Amino acid sequence: MTTRAFIGIGSNLDDPAAQVRRAVTALDTLAGCRCVAVSRRYRNPPMGPADQPDYVNAVAALDTTRAAHDLLAGLQALEAAAGRERNGRRWGPRPLDLDLLLYDDAQIDTEDLTVPHPGVTVRAFVIVPLAEIDPDRRVPGAGRAGDLAAAVDDSGLRVEED
């Protein structure tokens, strides 16, 4: 059975735009996954500590045969391969951040995974690119991505040029 999953991609270290491009390629080669859509890249100020570079973010849609927790493990392996070290500091700088935003219409709340991702509806750098690739996608418990994107403050987002 194939499930449509949406992955938030972010980076603010080691050439962030290139990190995001490489992540999209890596997602498409992840076992049991096929990348079917990718948003434009957006540059935005960091969330959390301001003493770090701006982030570059995008959202990718994947068709996957992997279970949600197995997909999460694959995402974390890609982060580690890109040099991410999980040091407990929240919202700090990182070469790659991959978040499982949506897993079809599933609602998952376990110790290591919450889907929909808690920030999907309120973070412009997540909901705007999500709505760009699938404006009619319903975020369980929140509504249509296009409507949510229209309601969020996106004044800090800038489209990242190639």
Q: Is the dihedral of CA 162, 92, 36, 146 positive or negative?
A: negative
Q: Any catalytic annotation for residue 84?
A: yes
* Catalytic option among 94, 123, 134, 137: 94
* Catalytic option among 99, 123, 134, 137: 99
Q: Which residues of 64-79 are buried (b: 16+ CB within 10 A; e: fewer)?
A: bebebeebbebbeebb
Q: Any catalytic annotation for residue 99?
A: yes
Instruction: Name 114's bridge partners.
Output: 109
Contact assessment for residue 127 and residue 137, using Cβ atoms and an 8 Å cutoff = no
Q: 87: exposed, middle or buried (C-beta count within 10 Å: 0-12, 13-18, 19+)?
A: exposed
Q: How far apart are CA 40 and CA 134, in angstroms?
A: 13
* Catalytic option among 22, 41, 66, 97: 97
Please choose, from the candidates 75, 81, 107, 106, the residue with its C-alpha nearest in 3D space to the C-alpha of residue 95.
81
Q: Any catalytic annotation for residue 22?
A: no
Q: Any catalytic annotation for residue 94?
A: yes
* Catalytic option among 21, 22, 84, 123: 84
Active site residues: 84, 94, 97, 99
